[in-house]
Amino acid sequence: MNRKIEKIIKNALKEDIGKKDITTDSIFKDNFFVSAELICKSGGVLCGIEIFKKVFLSLSPDFSFDFNFKDGDFIKKNVIVGKIKGPIKELLMGERTALNFLQHLSGIATETRKITSKTKIKIYDTRKTIPNLRDLEKYAVKVGGGENHRYGLYDMVLIKDNHIKGIMEKEKIDKISAIKLAIKRVKKYLKGKFKIEIEVKSYKEALVALNEGVDIIMFDNAKVSDIKKFCEFKNRKNCEIEVSGNINIRKLDKIKDLKIDRISVGYITHSAKAVDFSLKIKSLIDGY
């Protein structure tokens, strides 16, 4: 586990525990060992089990785990995922943070699995992630069968509508001219070091972008008829077609038969429903 993830866990524990767990410290004088069961209460795709473990191990090296499932497995409702053994004080201090990571990441993996199972077209995530949790959330997308779009503003060019609008206002030119100018400026500045993707709204805009030599054309909230028309034309060109714009499983039916290469979906990270887990202490462990 890399240092970035370890820092996320450390900060999450600090946020929850603060100086100390005043409830646990008030009730327990002795720090005895217990066993507990991790239960999946609502069913879904498991994701984040190593993060779950690391939370507890960050508090004490004396924890041990016996899990029946791994990331990517679908777990039915009310199934025991596995068992954990360790000191009760650290168990109670880490419980909520560990469960929060597990239920959030499992929720993303579950939503991703639902939509990827409906199409053979590759499903990509977006940058619509919780600040500081992007690495974890994008990992969950992969566990659910999806693909990762760019990680940030630094690893791929994506010319968006507001970039174009900014050029239009500054240069006092129309949108088509602004699209051409934006692509020319990016190519001159980056000299082929990064892929170039551009967001378009229509067939006409896509055709202009194609002729300017971009790598990916993203139809954002565009008419299906425009996308279909471009797909039929585009087959002779070396350029990927992406579709985005409030895509969900219901809207997927309208585009899943088009000859597109990828679909970007924001809700799998920003609106995924958490999978419900609980951690229940079962017994005292003798000999500790």
Selecting among 128, 142, 228, 251, the annotated active-site residue is 128
Active site residue 128: yes
From residue 122, give the alpha-carbon distance in Å to each of 57, 149, 196. Answer: 36, 11, 19
Q: How far apart are CA 236 and CA 54, in angstroms?
A: 50
Tokens linked to 285: 């462990």
Tokens linked to 107: 């929720």
Is the Cβ–Cβ distance between 144 and 45 less than 8 Å? Answer: yes
The maximal CA–CA distance of the chain, rounded, in angstroms, is 79
DSSP string for residues in 54-78? HHHHHH-TT-EEEES--TT-EE-TT
Phi first, then psi: what are they for 191, rounded to 5°? 50, 45
Hey, which residues are catalytic here? 128
